[in-house]
């Protein structure tokens, strides 16, 4: 009897160690991997959230940029990181698009990563250089039709949300244009300003400040309704493509090896921080719309996104590898 009590006590003590560790989380700095260069839309939003989480946790939370391969360099590193909650991934649509279209990746997003919490879901903004002749979507389409295959559009990488925005636009407008991938949204926007590429479906945190400053011209936003932060910019749908709609979503993921109770704890903390007025004000100031939901719904959303993009890639016969 005494031996059995000792065994039971030992088992309970062993179980209490991880629970106690989770209760103290985070006890050291937390790394947030972002798969795009500094200054990209996902980087901008990720840094706001890292700052706000750090204030809430009273612990350092820092962003590490791992740009390249449409965010897959960072996603692969996150998938292979220890499951202790000290490495998180801040990702966007490109993660679901890659999972749908690239079967030979060195990780599997659906099994190697776990969705934690969404943060933002915002339309893209279609920008051209200040000297580009087109002043509307219809004028851009007309110019592209007059010069098939000669206009170039940018993206933050093959298979990212902004790339698919461009491809969807080209298909629906019936035009041919050359895709030029970059390692992030900031360098793509720089080449739009310089006139090296014709247009770019930028993330709002990158494109809107440039449009407001006059460094680029905004032709449209990609939501079904006009964007609250720039109500004077019409939608693509208003300008001759009524079925066109695309949004850039962003959220937190963790290695699938993170224990469920810790995963749920981090997800709740992100939700709590996202509900704080200061966080909301900072996110809205950089030009994004909030996407608030619980972990279970975000998991279902992510699975549905993979299936949606799998169908789009197949229907458009896109080769993303």
Residues 103 and 140 in one domain: no
Distance (Å, whole) CA 207 – CA 302: 25
Question: Is it the case that residue 9 has pLDDT exceeding 80?
Answer: no
In a domain, 23, yes or no: no
Pairing of β 125-128 and β 217-221: antiparallel
Question: Is it the case that residue 6 has pLDDT exceeding 80?
Answer: no
Number of domains in the chain: 2
Mean pLDDT of 147-173: 92
Of the candidates 263, 272, 273, which has an alpha carbon nearest to the alpha carbon of residue 295? Answer: 263
Confidence grade of residue 17 (pLDDT, cut at 50, 70, 90): very low
Of the candidates 36, 34, 74, which has an alpha carbon nearest to the alpha carbon of residue 186? Answer: 36
Give yes or no for a contact between 111 and 99, defined as CB atoms under 8 angstroms apart: no
In a domain, 158, yes or no: yes
In a domain, 197, yes or no: yes
In a domain, 162, yes or no: yes
In a domain, 283, yes or no: yes
Q: Which two structure tokens, joined as six digits, stand for 173?
A: 């407008």
Residue 237: what pLDDT?
Answer: 97
Please give the mean pLDDT across all residues of the chain: 92
In a domain, 302, yes or no: yes
Domain boundary at 245, 262, 296, which?
245
Domain boundary at 245, 276, 304, which?
245
Judged by DSSP in three states, 235 sits in: strand
Domain boundary at 224, 245, 266, which?
245
CATH (domain of 299): 3.40.190.150
Output the pTM of the full model: 0.85
Give yes or no for a contact between 227 and 189, defined as CB atoms under 8 angstroms apart: no
In a domain, 93, yes or no: yes
Tell me the pLDDT tens digit for each residue of 250-290: 999 999 999 999 999 999 999 999 999 999 999 999 989 99
Tell me the pLDDT tens digit for each residue of 135-147: 999 999 999 999 9
Residue 311: what pLDDT?
Answer: 84
Distance (Å, whole) CA 2 – CA 11: 14
Query: In sequence order, which residues have a C-beta less than 8 Å from that of residue 216 and are 6 or more positions away?
Result: 127, 128, 129, 130, 189, 192, 193, 207, 210
Residues 241 and 253 in one domain: no
Residue numbers of the domain that contains 142: 125-245
Question: Is it the case that residue 18 has pLDDT exceeding 90?
Answer: no
């Amino acid at each position: 009897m005494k031996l059995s009590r000792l065994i039971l006590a030992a088992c309970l003590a062993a179980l209490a160690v991880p629970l106690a560790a989770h209760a103290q989380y985070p006890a050291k700095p937390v790394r947030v991997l972002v798969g795009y260069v500094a200054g990209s839309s996902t980087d901008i939003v990720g840094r706001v959230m890292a700052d706000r989480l750090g204030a809430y946790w009273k612990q350092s939370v820092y962003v590490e940029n791992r740009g390249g391969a449409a965010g897959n360099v960072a996603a692969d590193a996150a998938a292979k990181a220890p499951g202790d909650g000290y490495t998180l991934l801040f990702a966007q649509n490109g993660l679901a698009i890659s999972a749908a279209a690239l079967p030979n990746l060195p990780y599997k997003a659906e099994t190697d990563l776990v969705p934690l919490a969404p943060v933002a879901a915002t339309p893209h903004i279609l920008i051209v250089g200040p000297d580009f002749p087109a002043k509307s979507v219809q004028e851009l389409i007309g110019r592209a039709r007059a010069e098939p295959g000669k206009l170039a559009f940018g993206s933050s990488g093959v298979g990212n949300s902004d790339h698919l925005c461009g491809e969807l636009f080209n298909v629906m407008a019936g035009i041919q244009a050359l895709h030029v991938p970059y390692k992030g949204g900031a360098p793509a926007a720089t080449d739009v300003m310089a006139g090296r590429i014709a247009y770019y479906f930028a993330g709002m945190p990158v494109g809107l400040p440039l449009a407001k400053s006059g460094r680029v011209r905004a032709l449209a936003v990609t939501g079904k309704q006009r964007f609250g932060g720039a109500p004077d910019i019409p939608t693509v749908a208003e300008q001759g493509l009524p079925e066109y709609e695309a949004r850039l979503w962003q959220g937190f993921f963790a290695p699938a090896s993170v224990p469920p109770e810790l995963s749920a704890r981090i997800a709740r903390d992100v939700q709590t921080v996202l509900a704080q007025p200061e966080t909301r004000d900072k996110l809205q100031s950089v030009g994004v719309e909030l996407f608030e939901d619980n972990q279970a719904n975000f998991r279902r959303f992510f699975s549905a996104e993979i299936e949606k993009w799998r169908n789009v890639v197949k229907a458009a016969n896109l080769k993303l590898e």
